[in-house]
A and B are shown apart, each in its own frame.
Chain A
Amino acid sequence: AQSVAQPEDQVNVAEGNPLTVKCTYSVSGNPYLFWYVQYPNRGLQFLLKYITGDNLVKGSYGFEAEFNKSQTSFHLKKPSALVSDSALYFCAVRRPGGNTGKLIFGQGTTLQVKP
């Protein structure tokens, strides 16, 4: 069965410091991986995705993520955190094949960036 794990419920980082939000996945075949961000009382906003090719993916708002097949990970990173990055972050996976394009989400990680 497909699954996604975000091992940290919350990540705290000081403004200006680099941030990492961790994601690991379990899926047969080649995964398609996504990161979304959710601000309070808002829907999910797409940040970036990995489909194929370069393992380092760049996305919106200065975020990037690195696909590591051997470690089955897709960690979200940003070189310098902003207070406005504070939000709930979701990693998601889709597996090619079958008749559905549904996303399987991790439980989410709350990012707190302190001034």
Chain B
Amino acid sequence: GAGVSQSPSNKVTEKGKDVELRCDPISGHTALYWYRQSLGQGLEFLIYFQGNSAPDKSGLPSDRFSAERTGGSVSTLTIQRTQQEDSAVYLCASSSGGGYQETQYFGPGTRLLVL
């Protein structure tokens, strides 16, 4: 079946602009995660959605970052007033449930470059 998809694949923006990154999880998966991969920081957790529960936003680096998940499916990560340090690959993952044994399946990522 279809895996996790993300769009756009690449995004180049100017410092100070807002960007939106989209994630379509595997159909039927109730848990959705955003991570960021950068050269200096490695792979970092950003935010976690599970069903109708309040999201875990503990990994968001600043209040410029926010995410929504509409209808329990598609998620959008928004970065306001982008900075050069936001340049990274943003990875989305989903799992069939929120249990700790569940495997997270990753999308191909969105490569963000802030000029």
CB within 8 Å of B: which residues of A? 32, 34, 36, 41-46, 49, 51, 90, 92, 94-96, 99-108
Per the bound structure, the CA–CA distance linking A105 and B58 in Å amounts to: 16
Whole-angstrom distance between the Cβ of B99 and the nearest chain A Cβ: 7
B42, A100: Cβ atoms under 8 Å? Answer: no
Which residues of B approach A to under 8 Å, CB–CB?
A: 4, 31, 33, 35, 42-43, 45, 48, 50, 53, 56, 58-59, 91, 93, 95, 98-109
* Extra contacts besides A32-B101, A44-B93, A100-B56 (20): CB < 8 Å: A32-B100, A42-B108, A42-B109, A43-B4, A44-B91, A46-B104, A46-B105, A49-B103, A94-B100, A100-B58, A101-B95, A101-B98, A101-B99, A101-B100, A101-B102, A102-B45, A102-B48, A102-B56, A105-B42, A106-B42
